[in-house]
């Protein structure tokens, strides 16, 4: 390309050439940089997504740890109630009647109410609570005695206060014309018992493995 002879025209031509080169460089650079910018943007998005996933996983781990602790606390409470408070009735010498008799006689002695008999009834499933694989069943006894209404109320309150998980049901009161103020009384007492005597060990093992 031949440049103009005059200095002014030559300078103008050179300027136009420089502008053209700059434009070409700019356009070429834009096409070259855009993929890099997009790649960089994608990388940043991926990093943010990874951060979000990591945070979510950390939260799940915290929840799992908290759940394990809750399980351990529940198991500890169940074991304590079973071993020390007798809220869950335990078999002694192969039967539950010994423990049930001791607990009812203790309440009767505290209220100075004489008992006639305590008879074992049955062991049944808990039908009022729909829980699959319920670890508990109900052990029932029938208590017979002769007393007045005031003494009966005191005795029932004492028995109920001894265990928040027992239930008193089927109270029968029959008057005695020959003994004014005295009644023949029968009522049932029910305690929760373990469906399987090894259930505590199984629960502890299950919690420790999760």
pLDDT at 45: 74
Q: What percent of the chain has pLDDT over 70?
A: 58
Residue 151 — pLDDT band, cuts 50, 70, 90?
Answer: very high
pLDDT at 7 over 70: no
42 beta partners: none
- The contacts of residue 194 (CB under 8 Å, 6+ apart) are 82, 88, 135, 136, 137, 200
What distance in Å separates the CA atoms of residue 100 and residue 8, rounded to the nearest whole number? 120
Sheet containing 183-194, strands listed edge to edge, beginning at the edge strand earlier in sequence: 115-125, 136-147, 183-194, 167-175
Residue 168 — pLDDT band, cuts 50, 70, 90?
Answer: very high
**pTM beyond 0.85:** no
Give domain 89-200's CATH architecture.
2-Layer Sandwich (3.30)
Of 7-21, 49-63, 150-164, least confident by mean pLDDT is 7-21
pLDDT at 207 over 60: no
pLDDT at 205 over 70: no
pLDDT at 103: 92
pLDDT at 153: 93
pLDDT at 112: 93
What distance in Å separates the CA atoms of residue 114 and residue 105, rounded to the nearest whole number? 9
- Mean per-residue pLDDT, 167-187: 88
Please tell me whether residue 153 adopts helix, strand or coil conformation: helix
- Mean per-residue pLDDT, 139-153: 93
Alpha-carbon distances of 39 from 30, 31, 49, 51, rounded to whole Å: 14, 13, 15, 18
Alpha helix locations (H) across the chain? 7-80, 97-110, 149-162, 199-208
pLDDT at 100: 92
pLDDT at 133: 65
Task: For the chain, give every domain's residue range.
Answer: 1-85, 89-200
pLDDT digit string, tens, across residues 127-143: 765 655 677 889 999 99
Nearest to 194 by CA among 80, 97, 78: 78
What distance in Å separates the CA atoms of residue 206 and residue 111, rounded to the nearest whole number? 43
pLDDT digit string, tens, across residues 53-106: 777 767 766 776 666 666 666 666 666 666 666 788 888 888 899 989 999 999
pLDDT at 188 over 90: yes
119 beta partners: 142
Nearest to 141 by CA among 91, 82, 101: 101
R_g over Cα of the chain: 42
């Amino acid at each position: 390309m031949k440049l103009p002879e005059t200095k002014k025209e030559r300078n103008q031509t050179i300027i136009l050439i420089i502008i053209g080169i700059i434009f070409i460089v700019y356009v070429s650079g834009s096409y070259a940089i855009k993929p890099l910018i997009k790649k960089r943007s994608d990388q940043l998005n991926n990093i943010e997504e990874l951060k979000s996933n990591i945070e979510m996983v950390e939260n799940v781990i915290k929840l799992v740890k908290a759940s394990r602790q809750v399980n351990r606390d529940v198991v500890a409470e169940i074991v304590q109630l079973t071993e020390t408070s007798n809220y869950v009735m335990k078999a002694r010498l192969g039967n539950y009647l010994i423990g049930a008799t001791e607990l009812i006689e203790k309440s009767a002695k505290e209220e100075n109410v004489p008992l006639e008999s305590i008879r074992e009834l049955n062991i049944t499933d808990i039908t009022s609570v729909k829980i699959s694989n319920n670890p508990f069943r109900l052990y029932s006894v029938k208590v017979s005695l002769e007393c007045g209404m005031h003494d009966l109320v005191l005795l029932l309150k004492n028995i109920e206060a001894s265990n928040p998980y027992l239930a008193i049901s089927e109270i029968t009161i029959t008057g005695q014309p020959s003994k004014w103020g005295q009644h023949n009384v029968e009522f049932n007492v029910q305690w929760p018992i373990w469906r399987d005597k090894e259930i505590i060990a199984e629960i502890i093992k299950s919690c420790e493995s999760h």
